[in-house]
Amino acid sequence: MYIDTHCHLSKEYYDDIDQIIEEDKNALVDKIIISGCEKNNIYEVIDFIHKYDIAYATIGYHPDQIDLIKPGDLEILENLIKTNKKIVGIGEIGLDYHYCNDNNTKIKQKMLFEQQLTLAEKLSLPVVIHSRDATKDTIEILKKYHLSGIIHCFSGSLETANVYINMGYKLGIGGVLTFKNSKLYEVVEKIPLTSIVLETDSPYLTPEPYRGKQNSSKYIPLIAKKISDIKNISLDQVSEITIKSCYDLFDLNK
Ligand code: NI
């Protein structure tokens, strides 16, 4: 069995959601955590967690939503979390400086990030962190809070990995690990399996040998296999330990 800790399930990407869920189950992916991180898709994600037993969600406002956020939106987030038991965390939230070179936007992103971290502390929920070209600021901000969670789509150095791990975070590892010459290879080899959780980030970042095609949670076993090869351990061990980490982080018994 496997858990996909991060996917973007939406009718925007997939014609037949029922079929996608069936395929996930057939691939032994028995839980998926959908990231509802855009203002206009959060309600669709909530529909899915009610409709499909295997589906859970984290919700939050992604840094690229910064110009859409209005006063009152954080209260909406809080109310949705309190009234939907299968929302098990806040995310993906964080900082994305990739297309951002003005300081004002960075300041606004940091403020939104901190407001949501404060909410996570208040509700005692784990967080799913999106950090792109913003490692230094992300670490600095996370140090101010006492939270657990996942560094989604981790792509940094071994040194950065260890900083996050020492702060109590798990690293979300996905399809990038299967790409030729992936820098993640060394990181995965050297960090403990207990600090790794599996994710697809589907429909993006499809693992080899399907790179270039549409991704979905059914490909999680390919990522698990790659980890078992790199760490020279059994696939069962990868399954067992990563699932335990997910249950340690998220309340998935609902
Ligand atoms: Ni994502």
Instruction: Quote the ligand 1 centre to 39 CA distance (angstroms).
Output: 14
Q: How far is the CA of 83 from the centre of ligand 1 (A)?
A: 23
CA 240 to ligand 1 center in whole angstroms: 24
Using the mean position of ligand 1's atoms as its centre, give its distance from the Cα of residue 78 in Å. Answer: 20
With respect to residue 99, please indicate whether it lies within any of the assigned structural domains. Answer: yes
Q: What is the mean pLDDT of residues 192-213?
A: 97
Q: What's the CA-to-centroid distance between 120 and ligand 1, angstroms?
A: 18
97 to 36, 91, 104, 108, 117: CA distances (angstroms): 20, 17, 12, 12, 19
Measured in angstroms, how far is the CA atom of residue 35 from the centroid of ligand 1?
Answer: 6
Q: 36 C-alpha to center of ligand 1: Å?
A: 9
Mean pLDDT of 11-36: 97
pLDDT band, residue 254 (cuts 50/70/90)? confident
pLDDT at 86: 98
- The 3-state DSSP class for residue 198 equals strand
- Name the pTM for this structure: 0.97
| Domain assignment present for 254 | no
Total structural domains within the chain:
1
DSSP state for residue 32 in the 8-state scheme: E
**With bands split at pLDDT 50, 70 and 90, how would you rate the model's confidence at 80?**
very high
Calculate the CA 92 to chain-centre distance.
6
Tens of pLDDT, residues 35-74:
999 999 999 999 999 999 999 999 999 999 999 999 999 9
101 — pLDDT class (breaks 50, 70, 90): confident
CATH of the domain at 17: 3.20.20.140
- Using the structure block, give the residue that is written with the tokens 């940094």: 156
Interval 80-97 mean pLDDT:
97
Compute, in angstroms, the gap from residue 201 CA to the centroid of ligand 1. 5
Residue 201 lies inside a defined structural domain of this protein = yes
For ligand 1, a single-atom ion, which residues have Cβ within 5 Å? Answer: 35, 201
State the pLDDT at residue 202. 97
Q: How many A from CA of 204 to the centre of ligand 1?
A: 8
Yes or no: say if 227 and 199 are a contact pair by the CB < 8 Å rule: no
Range of the domain at 85: 2-249
Answer yes or no: is pLDDT of 181 > 90. Answer: no
Ligand 1 centroid distance, CA of 64 (Å):
12
Task: Give the Å distance between the CA of 8 and the centre of ligand 1.
Answer: 6
pLDDT of residue 147: 98
Structural domain includes residue 72: yes
Residue 193 counted as domain residue: yes
Question: φ and ψ at 182, to 5 degrees?
Answer: -60, 130
Quick one: pLDDT at residue 100? 83
Q: How far is the CA of 32 from the centre of ligand 1 (A)?
A: 13
109-128 pLDDT, tens digit each: 999 999 999 999 999 999 99
pLDDT in tens, 142-168: 999 999 999 999 999 999 999 999 999
Token code pair at residue 126: 């784990």
Q: Residue 166: inside a domain, yes or no?
A: yes
Backbone torsions φ then ψ of 16, nearest 5 degrees: -125, 95
pLDDT at 21: 98
User: What share of the chain has pLDDT > 90, as a percent?
Assistant: 97
